[in-house]
Amino acid sequence: MASGDLALVLMAAGKGTRMRSSLPKVLHPVCGRPILMHAVQLGRELGARRVVAVVGSGEDQVREVLADEDVEIVVQSEQLGTAHAALQARALLEDHEGPVLVMNGDHPLYRASTFNDLLDTYRKGSAELAILVAEFPNPTGYGRIVRNSDGSVARVIEEDDADAATKEIREVNLGAYLASSELLFQCLSKVGNDNAKSEYYLTDVIEIAAQEGRRVETSSTDDWTETLGVNSRVELAEAERLMRRRLAEYWMREGVSFVDPDCTYLDCDVEIGPDTRIEPGVTLKSGTRIGSGCRIDSGAVIENTTIGDDCWIKPQCWLEGARLAARVVVGPSAHLRPDTDLADDVRVGNYVEIKNSRLGPGTKADHLSYLGDSDVGSGVTIGCGAITVNYDGTSKSRTVIGDRVFVGCNSNLIAPVEIESGAYIAAGSTINKEVPDGALAIARARQRNIEGWRDRRFGKKDGKD
């Protein structure tokens, strides 16, 4: 009977040459989260007390991603095989009193329930080594599970070393091994490299343990999608597709409607309230929180943004780092940039851009406006083409607009400037001085009509242009 805290060893030292990328394979994102971080998250869900990542290629980049995580790092300086990689964790874990789970760090789709079953197999039975297996209709590329006549596990034979009869076996090894630290590192130290690739295979610990009379048990998964490792861009895209579908199905069970789940792009770190409707072609990126009763129309891209209840995001909007209260309407084709804060019942129309600004309740900017570095009160109307001129080429300044202000079309508000409550800005004005409460500001040249100018300039053309 095994006891003690779980330690997780993640194999993340491979070069990933088939990715053809300067970014290490395990750092490519799947639904907004690096592949390796999916495995780290799995460890958290399993309650692992310690997580060790074995890194090699791209060590500095991996360290940077893991800098804020409670993950210990060891380095495989030479790529001599998976057993050699796992052995690098011995110095950290050889005195660990609980079980050690070794698994690949390039499998982003594993569910915690699958590994809880593996842990149950190890803890509740007589197993000294528990491994994860599955039966595939087409097992090509996987190591085959070879059993004795009594059904006990004898060893794993890799594809390159398998004869024709062995290749007919459909039960395959999925690369997850659970044992005590003592047994694990004892077996790893005995692994040789007498095989087609002259590498030290982690799978050999199974045969070594069995030959020493250790009880090897298996736990299986029936969901083939969990087993997909990422070794190429094709497999990366497939993992992304499967994860997106899984996320969409989760939120649909929580009361969210997706018109076409397969054409909706979800990251892992997204939350959506019930009775929200998501149209096709929407992209919801990490850090996004959407309330209940919202409508998100096609083409919207929303990243790291909080949206309150009963909001409507119309087609082709881009929201990044924004905060929306309740009943806000945005778009179509609006751009909310970081630190945009919209209060209840704000309306932002087509081709409006807002950055680092707060708009009070009921304010509306319906079309073709820019508000940057602004504090806007409640009930304000921003006319078509009105902008805050917040940058003088050296520094940025703020514009303050009080409650119930009316800003006419094509007005320029040159910061720093304050428009007090109830003021009106005449269309076409350029304002660079304070406008008092309730005043009408007109800052434009008086209209002047010059009679006969056209004929004098271009000559008469008998009424024809």
Residues tagged active-site: 367
Q: Which residues contact 22 (CB under 8 A, 6 or more apart)?
A: none
**From CA 459, how far away is CA 453, in angstroms rounded?**
9
Cis preceding-peptide flag for 332 (omega within 30 of 0): yes
Residue 358, beta-bridge partner list? 341, 375
Q: Which two structure tokens, joined as six digits, stand for 131?
A: 């491994």
DSSP conformational letter for 445: P
Query: Helices then strands (H, E): number in the chain?
Result: 10, 41
Spatial contact of 139 and 170, defined as CB atoms under 8 Å apart = yes
Spatial contact of 333 and 315, defined as CB atoms under 8 Å apart = yes
Ramachandran bin of 85, using left for φ above 0, alpha for ψ from -120 to 50, beta for the remaining angles: alpha
DSSP 71-120: -EEEE--S---HHHHHHTTHHHHTT--SEEEEEETT-TT--HHHHHHHHH
Q: Which of 174, 176, 235 is nearest to 28 (CA)?
A: 235
Ramachandran bin of 4, using left for φ above 0, alpha for ψ from -120 to 50, beta for the remaining angles: left
Q: Which two structure tokens, joined as six digits, stand for 148?
A: 């004795």
Spatial contact of 414 and 402, defined as CB atoms under 8 Å apart = no
Q: Which residues contact 13 (CB under 8 A, 6 or more apart)?
A: 54, 55, 56, 57, 75, 76, 79, 85
Q: Which residues contact 4 (CB under 8 A, 6 or more apart)?
A: 96, 97, 98, 99
φ, ψ of residue 100 in degrees (nearest 5): -120, 125
Q: Which two structure tokens, joined as six digits, stand for 246?
A: 């899984």
Nearest 10 degrees: Cα torsion 348, 350, 356, 358: -10
